[in-house]
Chain A
Amino acid sequence: MWRMLTALCVAAGALVLGLASGSRATPAAPQDKADPKPAAAPGCDYLGKGPTKDSAGDISAGIQACELCHIGSTKGQAAKFLKVYQSDEFVLLNESETWVNSDIHSHATKCLTGPLGKQMSANLKYNVAEAPACLACHSADKSPTKPLADKKYKDFATADGGVNCTVCHGLHERWQSDHYKTPDQEGQPLPWRSKNPDYKWERGMADLRNPVVKAKLCASCHIGNAAEGKVVTHEMYAAGHPPLPPFELSSYMEAEPKHWAYPTDPKLKFFAGLPADERWSKFHFHPEKDESYLTRHYAVGAIAALRAEAEVLLADAEANLKGGDGIDFARFDCYACHHDLKYPSERQKRGYESVPGRPTLRTATGVPATLVAKHAEGIEAGGLKAKAAGFEQKWAALRKAATTRPFGDPKAVQAAAKGVVEWCDGFLAVQCESAAPLYTPDQAKRLLGMIQGAATGPSSLADAEAAMVLSWGYLTLAKEAKLPLPEAKLQGLSKVFPLNVRVEPYSVKGMEGAPVPAQFPPRMKAVNAFESMMFRDAFLGLTGGK
C-alpha cells in the first residue's frame, strides 16, 4: 500500500474528472523501463492514443491508497515528501480530503442507490446501480475500451462511492507506483517530477494540466462519449435523469472545491522557479502574466464540448445507418421540444433557422463554441488563426443536417459531424502543442467583450441555457480579469437564473444521498420561466452596457 502513495505528482489536473483525451485511461505498459527520449517540444500525439485491451482492468486501487499521502496530513510517509521533496510546493497534498468532503464526484456512485436512482431503476426496469450504461460515468470504469455491450458490473470499481482519483488521473497502476519513487541518491529531486507528459502518459498518468486533456476528459461524461459507453439516452432522461447542465469548463473549475491550484496560487512555489521553456513543455503551465488561465480553459472547454457533442451524434448517426430507431432525442436540444406553449411566443417572434418545429442541436453548446472560433480568428500566435477558419460553414452544415428532417438525416449528419470533429481537432491541436501563450490578458478581454455581445445578441437571447452558459462564462472570466461585478447587479442577474454552477449544500461533510436533485428544480424553474428581455436588462446592467 505504501507503493500506492499515488498522487504526489498528480497535482493539478482533474477539475472534475479528468482523464485523458477522447480516449481515456490506461495506455499500454511500456516495454522497457528506460525513459523515452524527451521531445524538444512535446506534442499531443498521446491524445489520440487510447487505452489498450491489455491494460483493461488493470486498475490499482481506490482512494485508500491515495489517502496515504494526499489527505492533508504531515505525519507518516507524507512527512518525508513534505520535508525532503517539498511536495506541498508542487501539489496541495490534501486532495483526497477535499474530494471526500466537498466534491460532488464522490457521490456519483452512491446517488445511483438514492431516491432518484431507485425511481429510475423502477422506470427503466433495470438496476441503475449495476448497469454498465450508468456506471460508465458514475463510477471508475476499469475497461473503458470495452464496448458497452460487453461490459459487466465487475468492470467497474464502485467501492469509493464515486468518480474517484483514478478516473481522471489514470487507471494504470504503473504510474501509481512510479510517481512516488525516491531517487537513488539523497539530495536529488523526485525522478517522476522531471519527466515530460508523454513519459507519464505512457505509464498511464493523464496530463491534466493540459487544458485539452482535461476538457476532453470532463466532456466525456458531462457531454458524452459513445466509444466509452458514456451516453445519457432520452430513455434515461424520461425515467428521471436530470438534464445535463450546459458544460462550461472554466466555470465548472471555479465552482469545484479545488484539490489543485491556479497558477496564481502562491503555494505553488515550484512553478515560479521553473525555467521558462520548461513551464509549458513539462507542465503545460503558463504564468498568470503571460496567459489568462481560465480564458484558455473557457476556449478549450467550449470546443471540446462541441467536439464531444458532434462525436456522440456521429456515433448515433452511424449506428442508425446500420439500422436503428432514429437518432436519439437526447442528441438534440432538450428545450427545443420541452417547453410549455405560450402565446405570444418568443420562439415564433425570433423566427427559425430551419423549418419551424424541427428539433435543433443544443444551443448552449453551439453558441460558446461559435464565439471561441470567431475569437480565434484574431489570434495569430501558434497559427491559431489559420486553424480557426471555416468553422461557421462546418457548424452550419451540421445544424442543417440535423434539421433537414425531424431528428436529422443520419447520412448527412454523419458527413457533417465528421467535418465538425475534424475542425475541433485542428483547433485543439494548436491549443495542445503551441508553447506560445494564446490567451494573453488582451485576448482575454476581447473574448469577454464578445461574450457580452453574444449574451445580449439576438441568437442566444431567446434560449435560457445559452444565456445561462454565457453568463457563467462571463462571470468566471470577469472575475479573473478583476472587472467590477457589483453585488446589487449580480443579484439582479441571479433573479433570472442561478449564477452558481453548483448549489450548496454540496460541501457538507458526510452528506449522503443525492445532491443533484437538490439543484435540479431551481435550474429547471429558471429555464422554464426565462424571459429574454428580463435577462438582457439584467446582463447589460451588470456588464455596464446599460
Chain B
Amino acid sequence: MRSALVVGVVMFGVAGSGLFKRAEVPPPPLDAPLPTAKPYGLAKPPFGTVSSTSCAAASCHGGGKLDTPRSEYSTWAATAFTNRKLYDPHSTAYRVLFNDDSVRIGKLLGIKEPHKEALCLKCHSTEGVKPEEAMSEGVGCTACHGPADKWLDVHMLPEWKTLSNETKYTDYGFVPGKNLVARMTNCVTCHVGDADREVNHDLIAAGHPRLAFEYTRFQFNPTYRHHWDEVMPQPDFEVRAWTVGQAVTLRAATDLLRVRAERAAAGDTKTPWPEFSGLSCYACHQSVTGGDVGRDAAHPRRPAGVPGWELWSNAAAGVAAELCPDAFPGVAPPGLRELAALRKLMQKRSPDPKAVAVRAKRAVAELDAWLAALQTAQDKGQMPPLALAAPRRFAHALAANALSADRAMLADYDWDANSAHYLGAAAMYHASGGRANEPKWSGPIFGLANELDFPKRKSGERFDSPAGFGDAKRARVRDSFRELFDATSGR
C-alpha cells in the first residue's frame, strides 16, 4: 500500500511552502548571537578509501544470500539482482553515465565523456575508486559508510562496538548510519548538493532530473532493495526519519544557497545568479492556460509572479520544527527566525547575493544547532517509544499547515509546497500501519497522491512536471487536506 503512495510522486520529491509562523516577525539583527552547536558528520573525513571489493568477501558482507545479514554487498550489488523492479539504484549510478540521456546532457553542456567528467563523477561514482573499478562500484559502500581506510580493520573487532558514534566518525571516518542525522547528512551531499557538488539549472535544462530529496519517500520506495534492517521499530522510525529528513534537507539547501550567494557576491561569473534550481520548478515550468489565474490571491506570502525559494524543503519543515519534541522528547522546537528572514530576502527576482550570503550563513548556524540537538538526543541512548498517536498528530499538523488558517483554501498553491505536505502525511500514514490501522486516512492520502501525480503520456513519453495542475486539481488537493485534517483530529 505504501507503494501506491510513493508511486504517486515517484520521480520527484516534495517540499515546502512554508511558513513556520504565519505572523510577520521582524528579521533578527545581524549581530544577534547565534547558537554554536554543530552536528558531527558535516565535514568530509580526511581519510583514504577502499573499494567495495574489500567489503564483499563471502565471509563478510558478500554472503550471496540476498536480503539476509552478512549479504549486504550481495544485496546491494548490481550483479546480484535478477529483478530490476527491486534493486539499489546506487549500484548503477556510474553506468547511467553511458546511457542516451547522459550522452545528450553531455552534448548540450559541451561534455564529451560524462563518465570521465568530474562534475558528474562527484555523485555518480565513489571517490577514490580506480577507473577500472568504477563500473562495478557505482556509488559504493564507502560513499555512504565513510572512507574505510582507517576503519576497515577496526570495525571487525569487538572494541568497535564500544566506540561512540561521534568517535567513529571523527576519529575513523565511519558514518554511523544508525544515527539518523549522521546518515542523512551524508545522503544530502549528493541528493541536495554542497559546495563541492551540485545539480544546477544548466544541468537540469540539459536533461538531468531535478533533485527532490525526502528521506522516507526514498527509503520506502517499493522498488528500493534495502541491505539493512532498521533497529528502531515503526512508527518511531518513520516519524523520526521524516523529522530529521526535513531538518537535514533544509540545512543542505540553505547551505547550498549560502555557497552560491557567496560566489555570486564575489563576482564569480561561472555561478549563475539567481540560481533557478533553488527555486520552485513548476512556478515557472507550467503551461499558461488562460484558465487558472486566481492562484496568487490565495497566498499573501510571495509577491505575484516571483517563484518561491526552496519550497520543497521549506514548506513542511515548520511542522517538523514545531512537533520536534513529539518525535525527539527533550528537543525544543527551534525558532528558525534567521531562516524566516532569509526566505523573505529570497522573495525577489534577483536577490542581493551579499545580503543572502550573510543571512544564509546565520540560518545554517540556526539549523546546525537544531540538528546537533536531534543528533545528540539519539546518541544519548535508547529513546522512549513514541505514543501510538504520534503519526496522527503529525499528519494533523501537516494538513493544517497545508491549508489557510480558516481552511478555506490552500496555504500555498505551489506543487512543491503541497507535495511536501503530502509526502509527510503519507509517511505518517505508512508509519501507522496504513489502512489496517488508519482506514479513515486512506481516502485523502490516495486522493492527494492522485492529484499530485504527473500525468501519463503515450508510451515512451513522460511528463516531468505536473502538467495540468490547475485550479480544479488544487481544489481537490485542498479538499483532501481538509478531509485529512478531519480524519486526524481528536483522540
Contacts and interface: CB of A to CB of B under 8 A. Distances in A.
A528 B289 contact: yes
A420 B373 CA distance: 59
B290 A521 contact: yes
Nearest to A338: B288
Contact of B276 (A327, A348, A357): A357
Given A123-B297, A406-B273, A356 B202 contact: yes
Interface stretch (A152-160, A182-190, A230-238): A230-238
Contact of B304 (A123, A355, A528): A123
A352 B304 contact: no
Interface string B268-300: 010011111000010011111111011011000
A380 interface: no
Interface string B189-233: 000000000000110111100000000000000000000000000
A240 to B, nearest CB: 3
Interface string A322-341: 00111111000010011111
Given A235-B304, A328-B349, A344-B461, A334 B272 contact: no
B272 A405 contact: yes
Interface stretch (B2-10, B29-37, B71-79, B462-470): B462-470
A357 B204 contact: yes
Instruction: Output the residue of A119, A341, A520 with the most chain B CB within 10 A.
Output: A341
B305 interface: yes
A280 to B, nearest CB: 43
Contacts of A513: none
Contact of A239 (B276, B304, B461, B464): B304
B293 A239 contact: yes
Contacts of A406: 201, 272-276
A342 B297 contact: no
SS class, residues of chain B in contact with chain A: loop
A358 B274 CA distance: 11
A41 interface: no
B304 A407 contact: no
B349 A524 contact: no
A324 B457 CA distance: 42
Contacts of A237: 305
A441 interface: no
Interface string A221-234: 00000000000011
Interface string A402-413: 000111000000
A334 B288 contact: yes
B96 to A, nearest CB: 15
A334 B276 CA distance: 15
Nearest to B460: A344
A48 interface: no
Contacts of B204: 357
Given A329-B305, A348-B207, A356-B205, A338 B290 contact: no
Contacts of B201: 357, 406
Contacts of B303: 235
A383 B204 CA distance: 47
Contact of B290 (A233, A337, A343, A520): A520
A31 interface: no
Contacts, number: 130
Contacts of A342: 457, 461-465, 467
Interface in B167-209: 201-202, 204-207
Nearest to A242: B290
B289 A340 contact: no
A505 to B, nearest CB: 17
A405 B273 contact: yes
B108 interface: yes
A120 B304 CA distance: 10
B104 interface: yes
A351 B276 CA distance: 19
Interface in A325-384: 325-329, 334, 337-345, 348, 351-352, 355-358
Interface residues of A, number: 49
A348 B285 contact: no
B109 interface: yes
Interface residues of B, number: 43
A352 B285 contact: no
Interface string B103-126: 010001100000000000000000
Given A342-B464, A528-B289, A326 B304 contact: no
A242 to B, nearest CB: 7
A238 B296 CA distance: 7
B95 interface: no
A394 B303 CA distance: 35
A124 interface: yes
Given A243-B288, A340-B285, A521-B289, A122 B297 contact: yes
B207 A337 contact: no
A235 B305 contact: yes
A239 B108 contact: no
A274 to B, nearest CB: 47
A344 B461 CA distance: 6
A528 B292 CA distance: 14
A240 B461 CA distance: 31
Contacts of B464: 341-343
A343 B274 contact: no
A3 interface: no
Contacts of A525: 289-290
Interface in B412-471: 457, 460-465, 467
Given A116-B293, A326-B349, A341-B464, A348 B206 contact: yes
A338 B281 CA distance: 10
A357 B275 CA distance: 10
A452 to B, nearest CB: 29
Nearest to B348: A325
Contacts of B306: 238
A123 B205 CA distance: 31
A271 to B, nearest CB: 42
B349 A357 contact: no
B54 interface: no
A502 to B, nearest CB: 16
Instruction: Output the residue of B104, B297, B303 with the most chain A CB within 10 A.
Output: B297
A207 to B, nearest CB: 37
Interface string B294-322: 10110000011110000000000000000
B99 to A, nearest CB: 13
A456 B361 CA distance: 51
A517 B290 contact: yes
A337 B294 contact: no
B53 interface: no
A342 B467 CA distance: 9
B350 interface: yes
A525 B292 CA distance: 13
B465 A341 contact: yes
Contacts of A527: 287-288
B70 to A, nearest CB: 41
Nearest to A238: B305
Contacts of B104: 348
Nearest to B467: A340
A328 B287 CA distance: 19
Nearest to A518: B290
A337 B307 CA distance: 12
B108 A352 contact: yes
Given A325-B350, A345-B207, A340 B108 contact: no
B349 A329 contact: yes
25 contacts: A119-B293, A123-B294, A238-B296, A238-B304, A238-B305, A240-B294, A242-B290, A327-B350, A338-B286, A338-B288, A339-B287, A341-B281, A341-B465, A344-B460, A355-B205, A356-B109, A356-B206, A357-B201, A357-B202, A405-B272, A406-B275, A407-B274, A407-B350, A521-B289, A525-B290
Interface of A: 116, 119-120, 122-124, 233-235, 237-240, 242-243, 324-329, 334, 337-345, 348, 351-352, 355-358, 405-407, 517, 520-521, 523-525, 527-528
Given A343-B464, A348-B207, 6 more contacts: A123-B297, A242-B290, A329-B305, A342-B457, A527-B287, A527-B288
